[in-house]
Structure 1
Amino acid sequence: MSRWAVLPAELDPRVRQLVVRLRRLKDHSGLSLRQLAARTGYSPKSWERYLGGRSLPPPQAVEALARIGGEDPTRWLALREVAAEAWGNRRGEAPAVDTPGPEAAMPEATKPEPEILTAGSQTAAASRPDGARSPTRSLRVALVAGTVALVLAVSSAVLLAVRLLGGAGETAAPLTASAASAPASSSQSAPAYACRVERVGGRWYAGISPTRGAILANGHAGPEVAEAQCLLRRAGISPGGIDGIFGPLTEAAVRRAQQRAGLVVDGIIGPHTWKALRR
């Protein structure tokens, strides 16, 4: 069992969830980083970055590791999609995608020994001569912080407008970027939502969001989360408060609902879970 380094504190909860699960899958496989590189086509250094939370793994790498662990790649790719959205919103840029390097194609005996990720070890960036922070990093951090604050303000205004207008519609709407980019920890006072559950066209709606396909996971916040919380409560499963924040209590309730409906129990709300909650 690997002794993993502590993930960066500033890592988004959705990215953290992906990395932690990939670490568990790698441990379960019993493969070393070199063996994992030989099986997936991505170098040991690439896997070190992915499992250290310093780089977002490409979908092909996630799918390859899922198949090695005997898992269905579909839900792992959905989890990676949620993490990619969070990664792009935090950094203000598209996530970097690694491609298999020449190191992965070497015979295993000739490959360089990968660094071991231990709880007490330093990150590769900190140990390299060029690992010092760029002079523009402070400005970049300030710009990202300002962008997040602006997104939160716009999100609050949209939520208020939706509630004033009734917010009910017949067509499904995907999770908006403003709602997805606001993790639970960034909200000082969560808005209160009122459940107005009624059956329309053979489906249950709580009057907050009409979505039937938004992908939600631990760390999301917004009206779609509140809608799911109301439907969980209607089904007799307590998600905690109806606050629009996807936290541990809501995730536990989603898992119970998925188990009851005979779905894959992963704690992530997707089209199949929405269908079970609304019927």
Structure 2
Amino acid sequence: MSRWAALPAELDPRVRQLVVRLRRLKDHSGLSLRQLAARTGYSQKSWERYLGGRSLPPREAVDALARAVDEDPTRLLALHEVAAEAWGNRRAAAAVPEVTAAEPEFLPDETAGAAGTRPTSRSLRVALVAGAVALVLAVSTAALLVVRLSGRDGDTAHPTAPLAATAKSASPPASRPPAPTYTCHLERIDDRWYAGISRTRGAILANGHAGPEVAEAQCLLRRAGFSPGGIDGIFGPVTQRAVEQAQQRAGLVVDGIIGPHTWKALRR
């Protein structure tokens, strides 16, 4: 069994769940990283990054690992889909300060010049920014002066009307409607339990998903004695805990993801 280094603390829980699952499969297979690289076509260095949480493995690499260790890739790919969304959101958020804080690159003749070239370029940038700010302030002041003068001359019959319109447009948006609630209508059909919301027997559901399939699973979890929280169709941490408990009792792989095997256990 490999002794893995701790994953980065800032790693998103959904990405962490995928990496931990990949580590377990690699350990249970008994393959070394070199052997894993040979079977999957991805280098040993790549797997060190993937299993260390430093980069997200591509979908094809996850599929290749599952097949290399004789594991059904369906659940892993569902877990990868959720992790990829979280990874993309993290990179998009990190890109904003990166762009605004980046130093402009110098042309080749500037970098090859004397040591005083960079301070000169920075001084020029500061002067341009200061000039732009001064121009904006001047235009704003002129516009405000025109509005005040026109109000005094009586050109505006209702000077408070624009303010009222502005206040109306600035009012906070209406709050979002509450999440839909579902009602469980449990019935036994062909030796299987159904809650009257969805007839699916193979939908892949994981933390972050929402919809009637999730509500169906929540009803079946509650029938089996595991509390998923409210029957709201939202797959959150409470529902995930209930899924893991149901998987453990059924002798399935405990990964908190609902797939064909977990559906079968819930409908029995």
RMSD: 4.1
- In the alignment, the residues of structure 2 paired with residue 222 and residue 56 of structure 1 have an alpha-carbon distance, to the nearest angstrom, of 24
- Which structure ranks higher in relative contact order (CA pairs < 8 Å, sequence separation ≥ 6)? 1
* TM-score, scaled to structure 1: 0.52
For 1:25, the equivalent position in structure 2 comes to 25
Q: 1:139 to 1:63 in 2, by over 3 A?
A: same
| 1:269 to partner: Cα distance | 1.6
| 1:198 to partner: Cα distance | 1.8
- In the alignment, the residues of structure 2 paired with residue 79 and residue 265 of structure 1 have an alpha-carbon distance, to the nearest angstrom, of 13
- In the alignment, the residues of structure 1 paired with residue 61 and residue 211 of structure 2 have an alpha-carbon distance, to the nearest angstrom, of 33
Q: 1:245 to 1:135 in 2, by over 3 A?
A: closer
The SS at the match of 2:195 is: strand
- In the alignment, the residues of structure 2 paired with residue 262 and residue 134 of structure 1 have an alpha-carbon distance, to the nearest angstrom, of 43
Question: Percent same amino acid among aligned pairs?
Answer: 69
| Counterpart amino acid of residue 196 in structure 1 | T
Q: 1:135 to 1:277 in 2, by over 3 A?
A: closer
Correspondence 1:137 to 2:126: no
Please list, as runs of the form range in 1=range in 2, the aligned pairs for 1:1-279 lying within 5 A after superposition.
Answer: 1-92=1-92, 136-137=97-98, 157=176, 160=178, 162-163=179-180, 196-199=183-186, 203-205=194-196, 212=200, 215-217=204-206, 219-220=207-208, 222=210, 225=214, 228-239=217-228, 244=234, 246-247=236-237, 250-255=239-244, 257=246, 266-270=255-259, 273-274=262-263, 277=266
Q: 1:214 to 1:91 in 2, by over 3 A?
A: farther
- In the alignment, the residues of structure 2 paired with residue 259 and residue 2 of structure 1 have an alpha-carbon distance, to the nearest angstrom, of 24
The SS at the match of 2:86 is: helix
| 1:234 to partner: Cα distance | 2.4
Contact kept? 2:75, 2:259, Cα under 8 Å: no
| 1:227 to partner: Cα distance | 5.1
Q: 1:41 to 1:221 in 2, by over 3 A?
A: closer
Q: After superposition, give the CA deviation of every residue in 1:254-277 in whole Å (9 maximum; x if it has no partner).
A: 245457779776431246645765
Q: After superposition, give the CA deviation of every residue in 1:156-187 in whole Å (9 maximum; x if it has no partner).
A: 82x62x53xxxxxxxxxxxxxxxxxxxxxxxx
- In the alignment, the residues of structure 1 paired with residue 2 and residue 252 of structure 2 have an alpha-carbon distance, to the nearest angstrom, of 31
| Counterpart amino acid of residue 49 in structure 2 | R
Contact kept? 2:75, 2:204, Cα under 8 Å: no
- In the alignment, the residues of structure 2 paired with residue 135 and residue 63 of structure 1 have an alpha-carbon distance, to the nearest angstrom, of 32
| Counterpart amino acid of residue 55 in structure 1 | S
| Counterpart amino acid of residue 195 in structure 2 | W
- In the alignment, the residues of structure 1 paired with residue 72 and residue 211 of structure 2 have an alpha-carbon distance, to the nearest angstrom, of 29
| 1:222 to partner: Cα distance | 5.0
Q: 1:13 to 1:272 in 2, by over 3 A?
A: same
The SS at the match of 1:56 is: coil
For 1:178, the equivalent position in structure 2 comes to none
- In the alignment, the residues of structure 1 paired with residue 56 and residue 17 of structure 2 have an alpha-carbon distance, to the nearest angstrom, of 12
Larger helix proportion of the pair: 2
